[in-house]
Amino acid sequence: MKEILMLAAICVPLLGAFLIPIFGKAITKLRNALALIFVLTALLCSILLLPYAVADNDAVIHIYLPLGLSIGFHADALAVFMAITSTLVSSVIVLYSFGYIKDYPNQNEYYLMICLFIGAMMGLVYSSNLILLYMFWEITSFCSWRLIGFYRDRTALIRANKAFITTVLGALIMLIGFIGIYAETGTFDLSVIKGYTLPSWIVAVILVGILTKSATFPLHNWLPDAGVAPSPVTSLLHAAVLVKIGLYAYVRLFVVELNIDKVFETIVPVIAAVSALLSAGAALKATDIKRVIAYSTISQIAFILLGLSCGVEVGLAGGLLYILAHSIAKGGLFLCAGIVEHALHTKDMSKMGGLIKTMPVTAISCLFCALSVMGIPPFGGFFAKFLVIDEIVSAGQITLGIIFIIGAIMTVLYLARMFSLVFLGEEKAKAHEGTKVMLASVIILAVLSLFMGILINLPTELVKMVGGLQ
């Protein structure tokens, strides 16, 4: 049963995606419903896998092939946690797309790519084999290429190419690392090489792929430019799924399965700290609302990486909690930006102002999500931020703790500036609220951000199990 659930979580969105254009030709509502059902199926199956994972009765599928090759999927607590996190936000994003994308061409391809992307993400998180992981990794790059270039204008295509080339090149360099592992161990199977200490050159090349995908300085440049995509796409790529793939790979390979040299417990946090501060600085000056949120993503992802890489077990728990809180809140912020962009036909914040009067629901939802990203209680981001800093300091990295606090102050500054410029002050332009579906989507994420803080015992219990901290 559990194996079927795991396969369903992967295959339903992955293969179902190809049915979407067929139905889309005839009945658009059915196509939309199918897209949502496929993603919800992945979510539901992952939730149903949770009791098995918690009871250490993981779903495992293993098919051995010659030459040490294999096909393997493994639904452990970490995989299930990541699957639930990404499909939860993705479901809301698909729902939001019904309102946002309805007037644009290429909708069949849009929903196909979204489902394929989420299916690939499911495949990636449940893979227990490096080659499978790489294949799903590249499928997500392909989907994001088509999705970023959705509007098909020259700028969109150039930036889609940029994102595609950067992430694919990063992945190819990572592949060299995977081949290096095969050369050293004779297998790509993670369950076989669990506990193996990786040579530093392999860690370095795999890190290039991870940092490219998670948009960490200096390999981050594709991410702010990808803001030309429709808002649900940016939400999916920048908040919920794509950038989290890199973080997931880091946790899976370097924290859970394999051992790395202690020197990386200094190198990676330093890279993360530089990335966090530089992108926070860039967010302070940006005038395009989506660029502000995109730089904020780079900054927050770097903070998560900081937590994950400091070499403390509870830091892992804090990092995972941060991934969940950030996915929800940042997803909400992008969707709110989408509603504003939809209403005003601009992303330039200097042309906005006073929108809280005409768009109160969007404004309040945006504020909730912003407060969560800032880490202000009772929103979920508070506990994530607190635990990460706590563990960085516990690891004796007090300087990094101080840098984190500076970054957190900058987060408050740029998000307060963004909220103030867009929603407060004198009304500069007439606007209207988004459609009911779009508003419902942002309300869901805003309320989730709030409840994640008030009912923090639920995610922390899960995260404790993932980190093996019981």
Partner 1 sequence: MINALFDIISNNMLLIFILLPAFVGLIMLFIRKRFAIQLAVLLLSSIINLIAAYTLFASESFSYVIPFASFGLDIVLVSNELSSLFIMLVAAMFLFVCLYSAFYLKHKKQFSVFMLYMYISLAMLNGAILSDSLGIMLFFWEGLLCTLLGMLLINNTSKPKAAIKALVLSGTADLLLMLGIILTAYQAKTMLINEITPIKIQGFVPTLGFFCMLFGAIGKAGSMPFHSWIPEAANDATTPFLVSFPGALEKLAGFYLAVVVTTKLYDLRPHSTISNIVMTIGVLSLLFAVSMALIQKDMKRLLSYHAISQVGYMVLGIGSGLPIGIAGAVFHMLNNAVFKSCLYMCAGSIESQTSTTDLKKFSGVGKCMPITSICFTICGLAIAGVPPFCGFFSKELLFDAALESNIVFYIGALIGAFMTAVSFLKMGRAAFFGKLKLPEEKKISESEAGMLVPMIALSIICIIFGVFNTLPLDTLINKGLMFEKSFSGWPHSILLVVISLVVLCIAVLDHLYGSKKSGSALNAADHIHYAPVLKTIYSIAERGYFDLYNQMNALFNVFAKICVMFERAVSFTYDTIAVNAALLPGKVMRRYHNGSLGRYLFAALCGVVIIILIFIAVLV
Residues at the site binding partner 1, with contacts judged by CB under 8 A: 162, 166, 217-218, 220-222, 225, 277-282, 284-285, 314, 317-318, 354, 356-357, 371, 374, 376-378, 382-383, 385-387, 389-390, 393-394, 398, 401-402, 405, 408-410, 412-413, 416-417, 420, 423-427, 456-457, 460-461, 464
* Least Å from the CB of residue 235 to partner 1: 22
* Least Å from the CB of residue 187 to partner 1: 34
* Least Å from the CB of residue 73 to partner 1: 30
Between 112 and 448, whose beta carbon lies closer to partner 1?
Answer: 448
Between 9 and 276, whose beta carbon lies closer to partner 1?
Answer: 276
Angstrom distance (rounded) from CA 137 to CA 104:
28
Angstrom distance (rounded) from CA 470 to CA 463:
10
Between 148 and 203, whose beta carbon lies closer to partner 1?
Answer: 148
Between 153 and 184, whose beta carbon lies closer to partner 1?
Answer: 153
Between 27 and 158, whose beta carbon lies closer to partner 1?
Answer: 158
Q: How far is CA 111 from CA 32, 205, 384, 405, in A?
A: 7, 34, 32, 40
To 10 degrees, what angle do helices 398-423 and 381-394 make? 160
Q: Tokens standing for 406?
A: 């500076």
Between 31 and 385, whose beta carbon lies closer to partner 1?
Answer: 385
- Whether residue 305 contacts residue 250, with contact meaning beta carbons closer than 8 Å, is answered with yes
* Least Å from the CB of residue 292 to partner 1: 12
* Least Å from the CB of residue 41 to partner 1: 31
CB atoms within 10 A of CB 120: 26
* Least Å from the CB of residue 85 to partner 1: 18
Angstrom distance (rounded) from CA 441 to CA 88:
11
- Whether residue 333 contacts residue 314, with contact meaning beta carbons closer than 8 Å, is answered with no
Between 21 and 281, whose beta carbon lies closer to partner 1?
Answer: 281
* Least Å from the CB of residue 168 to partner 1: 13
